Structure 1
Amino acid sequence: MQAPTQNKWNGAVHVVKYLKDNLNQGLFYLVDNDLKLTSFYYVDWAKCTLSRKSITGFCVMLGKVLISWKSEKQSTVIRSFIEAEYKSAGITVCELKWLSYLFKDLQLNIEYLIDL
């Protein structure tokens, strides 16, 4: 958002055109939905039997609505379960930090709950 490029602008225009053409679709937020940000992360240490690489991921919910998620096989072999946990927690915290900046820019007061 701080340094937009032509590629990012084209992507934003594409999203706006999609939304304009699909007005009947969208995310449904209940009126009584609490604005509590909850996150979860998971680790499958050395899950891949061929490469022994770990699979990590997270999800972030705003009230009862899923707003962000990611799951990926790590690019390197992680030597211990604790290292895998640390890496997954770090990725989750980075996402939460980014979301906190976004909510601040949107002037939303969000309560944070982190379930590790």
Structure 2
Amino acid sequence: MITACPDGRWGRDCQNKCECVNGASCDPFSGECRCTRGWRGKECSEECPPTHYGQDCGEECRCMNGGSCHHISGECHCAPGVRTCVLKESTEKNALMNAGVKMVVPAVRRLASAIAHRDG
């Protein structure tokens, strides 16, 4: 009968001690570490690189103006002396919305003027 090892142990008769850190769990049969969000490496001792965050460091950071993101949450941290390091995605959405407004407002004004002139 095969039974799983208790947390922190792995291998035959659970004789091996897990070397995983930062809340990672270890496979009870192979001892391989399963890293938590924001961590990587054989023992999960390395933070995600500055350009990535999250589970398996699979999310891309979208900070601007030299900002870096938190290795777990992705929250932007501004560089010294910089007040805004907003997510690029938010800035891109705002730019698209502003471009749309700049096109729609003149068209609505022309339409309102044409209706007013027609009803005259």
With structure 2 as the length reference, what TM-score do the two structures score?
0.24
Structure number with higher relative contact order (C-alpha < 8 Å, ≥ 6 residues apart):
1
With structure 1 as the length reference, what TM-score do the two structures score?
0.25
Is the strand fraction higher in 1 or 2? 1
